[in-house]
Structure 1
Amino acid sequence: MQLDFFPSRTLTFYMAKMFIVRIVAMLAVLVLVLMALDLLGTSGEILAVEGNGQGELWTYVALRIPQLISRFLPYSVLLATLITLVTLNQNSEVVSMKAAGLSAHQVLAPLLLTAAVVSVISFAFNERVVTRATATLKAWEGNEFGPVPEDSGEQSNVYFTDGANILMAQRLMGSGEATRMEGVTFYRRDPQGMLSQQVRAERATYAAPGWKLEGIETFDVNAATSGTAEDMVVGETLSLQQIELDKVDADAQDFFELSRSIDAYEAVGRRTSELRAKWWHKISGPLSAFLMPLLGSIAAFGLARSGRLFVRAVIGMALGFAYFVVDNAALAMGSFGGYPPFLAAWAPFFLFLLIGETVLIRTEE
């Protein structure tokens, strides 16, 4: 029995190389297929804008691919794990390793090490590439794929609360007193909380205090009458500081920037459960790749000629996809305050880590 956790250097590099090649291949296939399907539904909207052409399509592809890589890299690791382990099992290489005195954990060690490296690379890729691509793509989509000025800080589909009233905007641009909104809708409520008036405006600018609406169409709910006005000031309690805080997009900020945004929220007594859960998930999300060899390990053991190898592969795939379902559900619950943020981000990881270890130990016994 070998006392080292890793098998020989030759075997470690052999399995790691096989695993990496399959991860890259599965990721390329998934991204290519999903990107093609995405373009089928989006290319019409992009080309409908005057002046857009093939260059804008390639720009969309360049901004969308990082998001697809980030989202589907763990799936690729899961599929690559199953393919690698099934291949090793069918060729009786796992049996040879076990006969040489390797434990189940030692057989999986090269895959776990490779998956850990993939997790670190995924975290760095998310922080340096995906957040920037997401911010740019959301601003472009919010401008309906029209030209967006560089460094505009544009946000799309935002809403703010002014007491019981709600101010919504299709686009939010600028900073400080130069902040402006386009495609604005203001909902005014009566003291009983019932909607009393709806105001639509082409744009809104900061009026110190409040927000000056221009190009207005009004609808009075109680009288069921509509009208127009040149300008109107609403949201007197909606300060620039609140606007700046509400512009925070967790998906478009890196780990450290989001940490500073959360501190700013907490300093003014704002609710931070959703942002805190996504902050923790920036670490636990990439680490999901490390779990995949453990959850798919059931496909490595058992005799291939027993006829149950396919069933084992299906079980491994089911465990992997169950993790993603539970992870998304827990994150959603954390965003709504149902779970503490730390629990929402990390509970699925540790739960399936224990499940994977249990399956592996039972297999080894």
Structure 2
Amino acid sequence: MQLEFFPSRTVSIYMARMFVTRILAVAALLFVVLMSLDLLGQSDKIFAYKGNGQAELLIYISLRAPQIIDLVLPFSVLLATIVTLATLNQNSEVVAMKAAGLSAHQVLAPLLIAALGVSIITFAFSDRILSRATATLTAWQAADFGPIPRDSNVKANIWVRNGNDIVHAENVAGSGAATRLTGLTVYRRDNDGGLSQIIEASAGRYTSSGWMLSDASAFDVASGKREDLGAINFGGDIKPDQFTLSKVDPNGLSFMALYAAINELKAAGRPTASLEANLWHKLSGPLSALLMPLLGAVAGFGLARSGQLFLRAVMGMGLGFTYFVADNFALAMGNLGAYPPFLAAWAPFMLFLMLGETVLIRTEE
């Protein structure tokens, strides 16, 4: 039994090169198929806007391609694992390595290191390229593939918490000290959470001592009486950026940008559980490539002459695709608030890591 984790340098490079080549081949094949199908469904919508032509179609391809690459890459690693190990097994190369004293983990070591490299590249690609392309494509689709309107910096239907009180503004314009609120309603609550007073104002502007509300009136819930207040000061602890925060799209933000947005939303008293799940998934998602050699390893072991090679390949694909189903399900539960954010992002990864190790150890080690 060899004590080194890796086989020889020559064997490691040979296996890693074979593995990476098949990843690229499978990814290219899946990309061409999915991109073609996507264009068949979207080209009529692109050309529906007057003036759009081949240039806009190429722009769409450039924006959609990062999303498809991010989608197919983990599947490509899984299928490349099965093809690589099945080929090595069919040519009795796995048998030769095990006869030389290598364990199943040592045979998989070059593939695991190559998969780790794919995970790192995937994270950098998603963080720097995919997030920007997604944000641009989302805005373009919202404009029905016409000119993307510039941000008017006007937000609608904004809610902010101030201690026990809840503040609602129909419209928010401007930023910083120049922030202006219109259609303002303040729901004042007692310590038990019961509604005690409703304050309505036509407008509000930020001052050094808080928010100056114009044409304010108050409705007392206990007495049922309304009182005109005129101009009053309110919410000295509420910062302007708590109103100016717009809806956050986690897919259109990089890791650090999403982290900063979550902190700002927390300061504004808004729920962030779904965003935190997506933040953690930006780390666990790329690492799924590291799992694929372990889940697909069952295809590479066992005697090829036993007639079970095809069955083992099917088992490997089944484990891999089950992981993707579980991962998407857990993330959906995290977005709904049914799972804690950290658990929603990392539970499938840890579960299938242990499952893959169990299958490998019980069958080969």
Q: TM exceeds 0.5?
A: yes
Deviations 1:264-290 (A, max 9, x none): 111122111000000000000000000
Q: Identify if the C-alpha distance between structure 1 residues 175 and 29 changes in structure 2 by more than 3 Å, giving closer, same or farther.
A: farther
Where does residue 65 of structure 1 map in the other structure?
65
Query: Equivalents in 2 of 1:148, 1:243: separation in Å?
Result: 24
Does residue 308 of structure 1 match 2:308?
yes
CA change 1:164–1:243 in 2 (3 A) is closer
- Cα distance in structure 2, aligned partners of 1:15 and 1:112: 11
Map of 1:181-220 to 2, 5 A cutoff? 208-209=203-204
Question: Residues 181-260 of structure 1 correspond to what in structure 2 (within 5 A)?
Answer: 208-209=203-204, 241=241, 244-260=244-260
Whole-Å Cα distance in 1 between the matches of residues 283 and 314 of structure 2? 28
Query: For residue 356 of structure 1, what is the aligned residue in structure 2?
Result: 356
Matched, 1:269 2:269: yes
- 278-287 vs 243-252, greater mean Cα deviation: 243-252
Root-mean-square deviation (CA, aligned residues, Å) is: 3.0
Please tell me the residue identity of whatever aligns with 2:147.
P
| Amino acid in the other structure paired with 1:119 | S
SS of 1:269 mapped into structure 2? coil
Amino acid across the alignment from 2:129: V
Deviation for aligned residue 1:244: 3.6
Partner of 1:86: 86
Change (3 A) 1:308 1:154: farther
Q: What is the TM-score with the length of structure 1 in the denominator?
A: 0.78
CA distance in 1, matches of 2:152, 2:252: 12
Quick one: distance in 1 between partners of 2:25 and 2:18?
A: 11
Q: Aligned partners of 2:152 and 2:295: how far apart in 1?
A: 41
**For residues 342 and 153 of structure 1, do their structure 2 counterparts lie closer, same or farther at Cα, with a shift above 3 Å needed?**
farther
CA contact 1:277–1:341 (8 Å) conserved in 2? yes
**Residues 153-191 of structure 1: CA deviation (Å, up to 9, x unaligned):** 589xx97569899989xxx9x964999xxxxxxxxxxxx
Confirm or deny: 8 A CA contact 1:139 1:154 kept in the other structure: no
Equivalent residues in 2 for 1:79-228 (5 A)?
79-148=79-148, 152-153=150-151, 176=175, 208-209=203-204
Q: Which residue of 2 aligns with 1:280?
A: 280
Asked if 1:291 is matched to 2:291, the reply is yes
With 83-92 and 264-273 compared, the bigger mean Cα shift is at 264-273
Letter in 2 for 1:101: G
Shift of 1:306: 0.7
Counterparts of 1:154 and 1:24, CA distance in 2 = 43
Q: What is the number of residues matched between the two proteins?
A: 308
Q: Distance in 2 between matches of 1:307 and 1:209?
A: 77
The residue number in structure 1 matching 2:16 is: 16
Shift of the 114–159 alpha-carbon distance from structure 1 to 2, 3 Å rule, reads farther
Counterpart CA distance in 2 for 1:305 and 1:298 is 15
Q: How far off is 1:321 after superposition?
A: 0.4
> Cα–Cα, structure 1 residues 154 and 119, in superposed 2: closer, same or farther, change >3 Å?
farther
The alignment partner of 1:246 has SS state of: coil
For the residues of structure 1 that align with 2:244 and 2:320, how far apart are their CA atoms? 39
Instruction: Report Cα offsets for 1:222-264 as digits up to 9, x if no partner.
Output: xxxxxxxxxxxxxxx9x97456423211111101111111111
Give CA deviations for 1:194-226 in whole Å, capped at 9, x if unaligned.
xxxxxxxxxxxxx9559xxxxxxxxxxxxxxxx
Higher Cα radius of gyration: 2
- Matched letter for residue 39 of structure 2: L
TM-score (norm 2): 0.78
Once residues 329 and 154 of structure 1 are traced to their aligned partners in structure 2, the CA distance between those partners, rounded to angstroms, is: 36
**Separation in structure 1 between the aligned mates of residue 309 and residue 32 of structure 2, nearest angstrom:** 29
Contact 1:131 1:251 (8 Å CA) reproduced: yes
Q: In 2, Cα distance between the equivalents of 1:86 and 1:141?
A: 43
How many Å apart are 1:350 and its aligned residue? 0.4
Report sequence identity in percent.
60
